[in-house]
Structure 1
């Protein structure tokens, strides 16, 4: 006799460029930071923290990021970080994170630029030194970055 096993399927969240997600900053969910997704797996950290509530999409005072990073997106796809809505980018070009330089510790002489999901040789791209650093973040890195910059962010009370 076979036993049927019931499994709850967790619905995966589809992520689109322009999605805004609330990032719980503490276990009690008393403060939230915010990120906006780009094309591919990059996100922009928004300079906003809310207290005791998640802002609605209409309450977002800015969508200009203070830091753009590659993010391992498990928290987004599983719904641990709630999506509050989508604010579309004005055009295709702005839907991609800005170009960033990749610095490889093992081969610092190899200069690459991350641009629109591709690695391009700095000589071919035409810039390198003035670009911001390409950084890979996980959930904890995003939370830590928001908390470290909290004094510079707009704090919105409920």
Structure 2
């Protein structure tokens, strides 16, 4: 006889520019990092960690990111990383992640810039070398990056 396992179905979350999400940094959920969504699938990692609780949107001390990355957003859309609110960007252009250079190991001669969801040839864009690196992160990469930088982050205890 088969038994049916009840699973709580979660409504898919629609991610909007300015949404702030809490990122559980350990299995026991004793500390949380924070990210802010840009347009498209990019997020900014915020330099804040809270202990023992998730901060409210009003308690987020900064929306300035320490790193902007492309994120596979399954944890956001399924609700595993809770959305705590939205802090809108000041204008439409700031709601996009800054331009970043794409470095392809297989074809280093191809110099592309990722800007507002598009790949643009570096010679057409007009910049390349001084731009930060375009990085694709999954959930574990975000958590690892936050933990590696934790000493540089503001830590808020309960």
TM interval, shorter chain, is over 0.9
Match of 2:20 in 1: 20
User: Which is worse superposed, 8-17 or 123-132?
Assistant: 8-17
Structure 1's unaligned 5+ residue stretches are 1-5
Match of 1:132 in 2: 132
Q: Distance in 2 between matches of 1:97 and 1:65?
A: 10
Structure 2's unaligned 5+ residue stretches are 1-5
Q: Distance in 1 between matches of 2:39 and 2:122?
A: 22
Q: Distance in 2 between matches of 1:96 and 1:8?
A: 34
- After TM superposition, give the deviation of residue 8 of structure 1 in Å: 5.5
Match of 1:48 in 2: 48
Match of 2:3 in 1: none
- If the length of structure 1 is used for normalisation, what is the TM-score? 0.95
Residue 119 (structure 1) aligned with residue 119 (structure 2): yes
SS at match of 2:142: helix
- After TM superposition, give the deviation of residue 7 of structure 1 in Å: 7.7
- After TM superposition, give the deviation of residue 9 of structure 1 in Å: 3.9
From the superposition, tell whether residues 124 and 48 of structure 1 become closer, same or farther in structure 2 (CA, over 3 Å): same
Question: How many residue pairs get matched?
Answer: 153
